[in-house]
Amino acid sequence: MPPQWSSLIAKAEKLLGGPAPFINLSSLMSSEAGFLASHARRLAATTDHPFFETVRACLNGKSLSSSLLPFSQKLTINRPTSSSPYPPGGLIILLVGQCRAGDLVGSTVLSSQHRNLAELFETVHLAVNIHKSLVHPKKENRVWSQQIPGSEVEDDETWMKNMELGNKLATLTGDMLLASVSTTLAHFHNAKIVDVVSEAIGDMLQAEFYSVPQEFFHGPVTTEDHAEVPKPTPHELSSNSHDQNWLQYIGSCRGSILGCCCQSAVLLSEARLQLPTNEDQMDKQHKSALFARQLGQDWATLLRLIEERDFVRRNQSDIQKRLDDISKPAEHSTSGYLAPGSFINYVEGGLPEPALIDLYLGEHIPVVTTARRSWSSLYSTVDCTTAMRHYDQLGAKISDRLKNSFSEFRSCIIDSGSTPEKATLSAIDLLRDMVLRLSEDSSH
């Protein structure tokens, strides 16, 4: 059995010379940032725009979920004290870079570049999540705000004005963070890395127009209303269309940026290594970066699946009560406001997110484009048990792909034409243990 996560993370931090970096807010504290911060403090005292919860969740370095609370209050009411046991994405990026760099990672320049890349990964996530926190300031969207106990009573006009101010604040803050990402990319002086990371950011933004989030937030989409974006995933893991759609969405909004940063870490290392220049070895160098990218994508996808599944397990009784409640006529239902495609109210980064189980339950429970659901054609029994088995089955497939990606990446490094250094072997062994541990978690 692979070691526990705490032990693996401690070993990784010792090997890498410290924990993975997070966003360096002090480097962003320009006069413009200070101006935004002062406005944010004033607005936070009077309204409950989801921008504030998004920032809290992301800066805590974890994504928290609570099945029954309004999404904007996830961290302010009954805030859990424990964080995710899994290593942050930045640590995986640093470890992949170490696998390729070996002893050269002790170089001040290369080590700084790898850590800047890990910080860039966190900054991109925060920027995109902040942009996703924008809300449509209309009276119908006030339901979740009015359910918060003790919240200040605002008339509709004041509420909509505060939401508009929150939207402006979120837009400017997200833009400022993305601008800092552009500056970091320019400092690498590597056009390939600029292309790779820019592609990942584009994937994250494009993902919001896929069918999964569109149907989750706006209800079922007809072919007349929405043209499906071509699916870019090269690997077919399942014949189930819902699996395909979920994998496409998570692969773009979560997997792409981690995969591209892992690829960039390898590219940065290879730019400073004295590697053989024959055609066969150059081909392996090219493949090592591509397999690093696939490894990062598979890691992020499997981790998201595990976190969703564990959330459903922890809240299964509450979720089942909600499913039973949904089957009642609307006038007798006690369910609070949910997105049209939401059944479990999964939250990541302070915002509601479509989960795989939402897609599965959507087959069994017809939904309409408002918070009311149709109950007349419900199946007689709807429970989470079958959906949980579905998580396990898909998790096994992604786990196999992750282990294969690591195996291919390792082969490229070991067979690179030179004797692997001790630091390289240590990083590879540690990354292997992490891959095996995550795969084991997916089967429990």
Task: Using the predicted structure, report yes or no on whether residue 282 has a pLDDT greater than 70.
Answer: no
Structure tokens at 308: 């969703």
Cα 24 from chain centroid (whole Å) = 20
Task: Using the predicted structure, report yes or no on whether residue 374 has a pLDDT greater than 50.
Answer: no
Q: Which residue has the higher pLDDT, 332 or 204?
A: 204
CATH number at residue 320: 1.10.600.10
Q: Name, of 46-60, 261-275, 374-388, the range with top average pLDDT.
A: 261-275
* Cα–Cα separations (whole angstroms), residue 259 to 117, 139, 197, 292, 347: 12, 40, 9, 7, 23
Task: Using the predicted structure, report yes or no on whether residue 176 has a pLDDT greater than 60.
Answer: yes
Q: Which residue has the higher pLDDT, 314 or 223?
A: 314
- Number of structural domains, the chain? 1
DSSP codes of every residue in 382-422: --SHHHHHHHHHHHHHHHHHHHHHHHHHHHHHHTSSSPPPH
- DSSP letter for 103, please: G
In the chain, pLDDT over 90 holds for what percent of residues?
A: 41
Determine the average pLDDT of the residues in 297-326. Answer: 88
Task: Using the predicted structure, report yes or no on whether residue 379 has a pLDDT greater than 80.
Answer: no
* Cross-strand pairs, 303: none
Lowest mean pLDDT: which of 158-162, 259-263, 383-387?
Answer: 383-387
Task: Using the predicted structure, report yes or no on whether residue 376 has a pLDDT greater than 80.
Answer: no
Lowest mean pLDDT: which of 7-16, 264-273, 415-424?
Answer: 415-424
How sure is the predictor about 27, in pLDDT bands with cuts at 50, 70 and 90? low
Q: What is the pTM of this model?
A: 0.83
Structure tokens at 374: 């149709």
Residue 337's nearest CA partner among 140, 157, 159, 149 is 140
Task: Using the predicted structure, report yes or no on whether residue 428 has a pLDDT greater than 70.
Answer: yes
- What are the pLDDT digits (tens) for 254-272? 999 999 999 999 999 988 7
Residue 32 is part of which domain span?
Answer: 5-442
